[in-house]
Amino acid sequence: MTAPDDGTGTPRLRDVTSTAPAVTRAAALLNVLAEPGADPMGLSDLARRLGLPKSSIANLCSALEGVGYVSRVDGRYELGPQLLALGGAYLRQSDDLSTFRDATKRLPVASRETVQLGTLDGLNVVYLARHDGTQPIRLASDIGGRMPAVCTGLGKAMLAELDPRVAEDRLRQVTVFPALAPNSIRNIPDLLAELERTRARGYAIDDEENTVGVMCFAVALPGTDRSGRQRAVSVTMLKARSTEALRDAIVTDLQELARVLSPTL
């Protein structure tokens, strides 16, 4: 079972109940090393982040290094090359990703913008695919990257698809709301109100909640994928370029893209 986290995606491992604790701890260690901007970390830093004894971290790192999931650099650990093979295999197995690329190119307006496909993993968005439009400034997250759902358009679009009671129960797991920008939502009541507005309008808006000067419009796909995960598509753009007409055209394109990608067809 997944334990509550602190808003960064790192579980409090002392609260975890698992039929395979070593696997759960290894996965949490990999998640820490995969955080955006993370540098190689030593055993003491990893032990402090995960709340585990240094000896346990040493055993985990040794096992993961043996199978190529982590590498040691000057006594510190970083993600290993074998994870790239796993990620590539995941991407090859997903027919939706090739459909996303083909369908996005045909969108009359959004094809010129940065379009992304993401899935909801707990309270984090994982980015699955990206279409880079013709705009000179790249405004996108890396494939496989993770961001807090509560301050992204993709995340709010998918959270709004949940039953409101389910969404509220899931949000109770957050002890600290991530504040990535001055406009980031910082508490559950404000987020629940925003999710209600998202349901009413049919799409989510990230209005400089993730990055100052950047907006995002997102639409959730109806239903779930074969793994039971939710997905959503979004367009990210400079706020200075956003007009009502452009927003309406982008949302229309995203709704069409969601329809094409929907597993309910």
Query: Same domain for 43 and 135?
Result: no
Query: Same domain for 139 and 256?
Result: yes
Query: Same domain for 253 and 122?
Result: yes
Confirm whether 160 is domain-assigned.
Answer: yes
Q: Tell me the pLDDT tens digit for each residue of 67-114.
A: 999 999 899 999 998 888 887 776 665 656 778 989 999 999 999 999
Q: Which of 57, 84, 111 marks a domain boundary?
A: 84
Q: Tell me the pLDDT tens digit for each residue of 236-248.
A: 999 999 999 999 9
Confirm whether 152 is domain-assigned.
Answer: yes
Query: Same domain for 141 and 246?
Result: yes
Query: Same domain for 30 and 107?
Result: no
The structure's pTM equals 0.72
pLDDT of residue 141: 78
Query: Same domain for 161 and 248?
Result: yes
Confirm whether 32 is domain-assigned.
Answer: yes
Query: Same domain for 101 and 133?
Result: yes
pLDDT of residue 3: 42
Looking at per-residue pLDDT, the higher value among 116 and 14 belongs to: 116
State the total domains in the chain: 2
Query: Same domain for 155 and 38?
Result: no
pLDDT of residue 6: 44
Q: Tell me the pLDDT tens digit for each residue of 145-202.
A: 888 899 999 999 999 998 888 888 888 877 788 888 999 999 989 999 999 999 999 9
pLDDT of residue 9: 45
Query: Same domain for 46 and 160?
Result: no
116 beta partners: 130, 234
Confirm whether 212 is domain-assigned.
Answer: yes
Q: Which domain holds residue 29?
A: 13-84
pLDDT of residue 92: 64
Query: Same domain for 101 and 51?
Result: no
Query: Same domain for 173 and 244?
Result: yes
